[in-house]
Amino acid sequence: MYKLDIILSDLKVNIEHKYDYMTEFCKDYVAQFDTADIVAKASDDAIAKEKAMVPGAPIESCESLCIYRAIAEKLPEFNRFVFHGAAIEYENKTYLFTAPSGTGKTTHINLWSKYLGDKVKIINGDKPIIGIDDSITVYGTPWAGKEGYQRNAKAPLKAICILKQSKTNSIVRLNTSEAINHLMRQVYIPRSAVALSSTLALLGAMIEKTPVYELSCDISQEAFNTSFNEMTR
C-alpha cells in the first residue's frame, strides 16, 4: 500500500492507494504535511464494483475514481462539494459550464480558448471542487475527464452556464427553482444524510449568489459571443 499527500481545494488530503498510478496522476498537487484534513482510500470491493461497471477500464483508473468518491464524501464537512462541469478562468474569474456528458462542455470551453487565446485558462474540464465560505471558489483537481484538462489553480466563481444543443444560439438567465432543478443533477450526492444536507445547503448558497444561465447553442463563433457577452457583463 502506498501513501500520498496532496493539497486539494486548500485541504490536506492523505491518500492510501494500491497502484502507483496515483503518484503520477496527482503530481501537480503533491505536498508535505504532518496532519491531514481528509484520509481517503478505496476498498477492494469498491474497486471491483467500479471495474464491473466499466469492464474495459484499467484497474488503477478504477481505484482513482473510487478514491475521489471517498474524498467527495468528506468534502461537505469543509463547505465543499464535487461538481460535474468544465471550469475556465478569464480575468481572474471562473466561468462554469455544465451539461450531461456528451452535450458539448469541452467543445464550448474550447471556443472560449479559440477566440480569447491566452486570456482563458482551463481550471478543470470535468470534476472541479466548489468551495463556499465568504465567497465561492472553484478549485482544480486531477480528476478532469478523458481530455485531462486541469490545473492546480483556483478562482472565484462569476457565472454558471447550462448547455443545451441547438441549431440557433440564445441565452436566458434562470430563476432559482429552475437553476436548482438543473444543477442538482450535476452535484455529487453523498451517501451520508448529514453530508447530503450540507451539500444541498451549499448548492442553494451557490445558486443564491451566482447567476445561472441556460445557453442553447451550436459550435460557432456566434455561440461563443452569445455566452461571453451575457456572462461577463
Instruction: Work out the mean pLDDT of the chain and round it to a whole number.
Output: 96
**Per-residue pLDDT for 102 more than 90?**
no
Q: Could you write out the three-class secondary structure of 135-202?
A: CEEEECCCCCCCCCCECCCEEEEEEEEEEEECCCCEEEECCHHHHHHHHHHHECCCCCHHHHHHHHHH
Question: Given a cut of 90, is residue 145 above it in pLDDT?
Answer: no
Query: Which of 205, 213, 231 is CA-nearest to residue 81?
Result: 205
Domains of the chain: 2-78 (no CATH), 80-231 (3.90.228.20)
- pTM, 2 dp: 0.95
- pLDDT value of residue 54: 86
Phi and psi angles of residue 183, each rounded to the nearest 5 degrees, phi first: -75, -25
- Kindly tell me if the per-residue pLDDT of 146 is higher than 90: no
Q: pLDDT tens digits for 171-205? A: 999 999 999 999 999 999 999 999 999 999 999 99
